[in-house]
Structure 1
């Protein structure tokens, strides 16, 4: 897994990462936007300028480092380009864990060919929170943990309607990791911002507060627990979000995950530990490890991580977790 360590102002972060992108030719996938896409991109830019302005400064830094057009980079970072639901995330409060610490478990499912581009970012923003987060060749994050012990990840929804001007999941997750120390503050932010697409977010802090925030351009719904388990899967789970997702065939893997996660929790609650979380993520018979059985293209879990929040330790498997060992990454904690 590629590892990147960057620090500084948002512009400096973009400049430093842009040099890495340029040197390693990680910009090969950037494609010029058509007229309609650019109009949506610029509408999203206006919302990002209000709710996550530092993200735009990073893109300016990347553009300068790569000597590429700002709008080209912006268009490939801020609007959704993949229409299939994927990824799963589970969190269990410390009250139900063996060591008394909240456990967060994440499987990122995507096209197999993109496994080679997975990047672990150790990010230290000036006037922000240091984090370990994961992504590809852009300044966003799709999941991660910050130095305050706040973790966040999302599960994509097969959203029924067209994406709208707002913040995409990689922008949202990055801003939360940079700026918030506890679940409630993150939830308040997620309730306030305009959302670009349909996403189910899971946020958890080291104090044991877990929230599932189901978000779409039309509305947001929040579930919170301080004594139990919550999961984000590729379905909206609240009645309030009904009608905003397309109907999936009954053979879809998401229905398997919908049953397996609570069964795993009910069997182990009170005794859940990192090993139990790793088994959930890596088992493809009774767990969440995705081998793309219902997909036409090569697809599945391309990385997985689990963490006890507040320890600064993250256990990461690059590739299918049933085939690859979890390795320890460390983050300095406040």
Structure 2
């Protein structure tokens, strides 16, 4: 068993300063070295910049802040952290359940490729949000000031191409969208690099799974929705990997939970429990649970924790938006491999 940490970063400032202060937190850390090893040394900066200027220009300012603090060129910062034209990552596992009242999700991968940052940011140029960082600029999952919550779920590398990563898609939606309809519209505009599901809900009780491939985007709706790592609509089923048995099994289990009308606490505790069918410890095979994230639409309550931790961040998003900082600076958990 090894200790596992996630730093909690709170910033209320310009997008440039958010980049500076985030860069200060990750400077000289292993995650920067990891992304140097995983990303291309040079990307099509002009094309990337054109997309971001159209869809989320403030993220270019945040990238400039990262470049300034890390003492690298803006072009190097975009290659490292923009999430554009990223080489194919290994399969990422995630399980989520959305009802009209609650959202709960587990993120499963390897601690070796994990930023270890939970950011609470309130930019002057975009919507405030709380979420777990991926490739520094992007987000695994999170919720914004309008009560829009979203998470990503890997499906396949079918039709993989140069484009925007799903973690940047998540960040763009959280930063610029106030409703499910706005989120779907933006996702349809983004040039996606790979096949991913996005689990999304808003404060009006609208929920959906958005199935996105580089060629097509399809929306799946229902009263309660489970989301795992395969497409379920007939239009996109052909894009699934050959072996989706584990994903189907998780989906069937999550569907059984949706009929039980569980509270946010009950759902959250179930997902984070090591004994849960949706908690995994296959860290060496890039399938170990790293964090659990939950949001309640009616009362703006966030519950989150990391792998096998006794610490739970329990916060009222609205109170934080009104200026009340949280006291927690680090979440400590542990990684126990099979």
The bucket for the TM-score relative to the shorter chain is 0.7 to 0.9
Q: State whether structure 2 residue 97 is matched by structure 1 residue 90.
A: yes
CA distance in 1 between counterparts of 2:194 and 2:118 reads: 24
Q: CA deviation at 1:186?
A: 1.1
What residue is the counterpart of 2:170 in the other structure? 173
The 3-state SS of whatever aligns with 1:154 is: strand
CA gap of 1:9–1:164, structure 2 versus 1, over 3 A, is same
1:230 paired residue among 211, 225, 239: 225
Equivalent residues in 2 for 1:233-252, closer than 5 Å: 233-248=228-243, 250=245
1:327 paired residue among 304, 313, 325: 313
Q: State whether structure 2 residue 209 is matched by structure 1 residue 212.
A: yes
RMSD, matched Cα: 2.5
The 3-state SS of whatever aligns with 1:20 is: helix
The 3-state SS of whatever aligns with 1:186 is: helix
What residue is the counterpart of 1:21 in the other structure? 26
CA distance in 2 between counterparts of 1:82 and 1:237 reads: 22
Q: Unaligned 5+ residue runs, structure 2?
A: 1-5, 323-338
CA distance in 2 between counterparts of 1:278 and 1:33 reads: 32
CA distance in 1 between counterparts of 2:194 and 2:182 reads: 21
Normalising by structure 1, we get a TM-score of: 0.84
8 A contact 1:164–1:217 mirrored in 2: no
Q: CA deviation at 1:111?
A: 0.3
The 3-state SS of whatever aligns with 2:159 is: coil
Normalising by structure 2, we get a TM-score of: 0.83
Equivalent residues in 2 for 1:48-67, closer than 5 Å: 48-67=52-71
Q: CA deviation at 1:84?
A: 0.9
Q: CA deviation at 1:231?
A: 2.1
CA gap of 1:302–1:34, structure 2 versus 1, over 3 A, is closer
Q: State whether structure 2 residue 68 is matched by structure 1 residue 73.
A: no
CA distance in 2 between counterparts of 1:38 and 1:279 reads: 43
What residue is the counterpart of 1:121 in the other structure? 119
CA gap of 1:296–1:142, structure 2 versus 1, over 3 A, is closer
8 A contact 1:85–1:158 mirrored in 2: no
What residue is the counterpart of 2:111 in the other structure? 112
The 3-state SS of whatever aligns with 1:49 is: helix
What residue is the counterpart of 1:305 in the other structure? 293
What residue is the counterpart of 1:184 in the other structure? 181
Q: CA deviation at 1:104?
A: 0.3
CA distance in 2 between counterparts of 1:160 and 1:86 reads: 16
The 3-state SS of whatever aligns with 2:257 is: helix
CA distance in 2 between counterparts of 1:4 and 1:325 reads: 16
CA gap of 1:45–1:157, structure 2 versus 1, over 3 A, is farther
CA gap of 1:6–1:310, structure 2 versus 1, over 3 A, is farther
Q: State whether structure 2 residue 190 is matched by structure 1 residue 193.
A: yes
CA gap of 1:143–1:160, structure 2 versus 1, over 3 A, is same
1:288 paired residue among 278, 288, 296: 278
Q: Which runs of 4+ in 1 moved over 6 A?
A: 32-35
More displaced, 277-286 or 307-316? 277-286
CA distance in 1 between counterparts of 2:212 and 2:30 reads: 34
8 A contact 2:102–2:295 mirrored in 1: yes
Aligned length: 312
The 3-state SS of whatever aligns with 2:221 is: strand
8 A contact 1:148–1:310 mirrored in 2: no
Q: CA deviation at 1:49?
A: 2.9
Q: CA deviation at 1:42?
A: 5.4
Of Structure 1 and Structure 2, the greater strand share is in 2
Q: CA deviation at 1:141?
A: 1.3
What residue is the counterpart of 1:98 in the other structure? none
